């Protein structure tokens, strides 16, 4: 191997070592995104992202339900903190669970973000990716 190639490899190694030790922390949030499912009177939101166990920390994952003139509305929020560097490729889905409002029927409309359906037509939670 030539000296030039050795220097290039050494430079790449040092850059990757620097990234491995990175302590840069980035916080990010998601609101009203993800899939809804239902088990009895509980609504679960499976957010549209998953976390790496080596780089991400879940700060919060919540959902709330309420009645409007159009039916039941679900709002959700998740906050994550991510560290820089090389992350593991495992995928931990983020979920939040909340109760349906006290008075509802199977025919009531339920909406979350861009998704709208009836409560009776909602997917069972066992059919999602958890």
- Structural domain boundaries of the chain? 23-127
pLDDT at 46: 95
The helix or strand, by DSSP H or E, that contains position 14, with its residue range, turns out to be helix 3-20
- Alpha-carbon distance of 2 to 27, in angstroms, equals 43
pLDDT at 127: 73
- Alpha-carbon distance of 87 to 90, in angstroms, equals 9
pLDDT at 130: 56
3-class DSSP state of 130: coil
pLDDT at 84: 75
The per-residue pLDDT string of the chain (130 residues; one tens digit each, 9 = 90 and over) reads 433 333 322 232 333 334 444 568 899 999 999 999 999 999 999 999 989 999 999 999 999 999 999 899 999 999 999 987 788 889 899 999 999 998 899 999 999 999 999 999 999 998 776 5
Identify whether the C-beta of residue 116 lies closer than 8 Å to the C-beta of residue 25: no
What are the DSSP calls for 9-64, one per residue?
A: HHHHHHHHHHHHT---EEEEEEES-SEEEEETTEEEEEEEEEE-TTTEEEEEEEEE
- Nearest to 72, CA basis, from 82, 63, 84, 80: 63
The helix or strand, by DSSP H or E, that contains position 7, with its residue range, turns out to be helix 3-20
pLDDT at 22: 56
Instruction: Provide the whole-model pTM.
Output: 0.76
Token pair 């990234």: residue: 19
């Amino acid at each position: 191997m030539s000296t030039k190639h050795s220097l290039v490899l050494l430079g790449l190694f040092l850059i990757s070592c620097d990234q491995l030790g990175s302590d840069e922390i980035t916080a990010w949030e998601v609101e009203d995104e993800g899939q809804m499912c239902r088990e009895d009177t509980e609504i679960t939101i499976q957010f549209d992202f998953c976390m790496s166990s080596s780089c991400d920390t879940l700060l919060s994952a919540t959902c709330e339900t309420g009645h409007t003139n159009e039916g039941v509305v679900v709002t959700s929020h998740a906050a994550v903190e991510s560290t820089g560097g090389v992350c593991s490729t495992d995928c931990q889905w983020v979920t939040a669970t909340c109760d349906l409002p006290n008075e509802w029927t199977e025919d009531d409309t339920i909406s979350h973000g861009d998704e709208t359906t009836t409560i009776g037509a909602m997917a069972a939670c066992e059919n999602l990716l958890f």
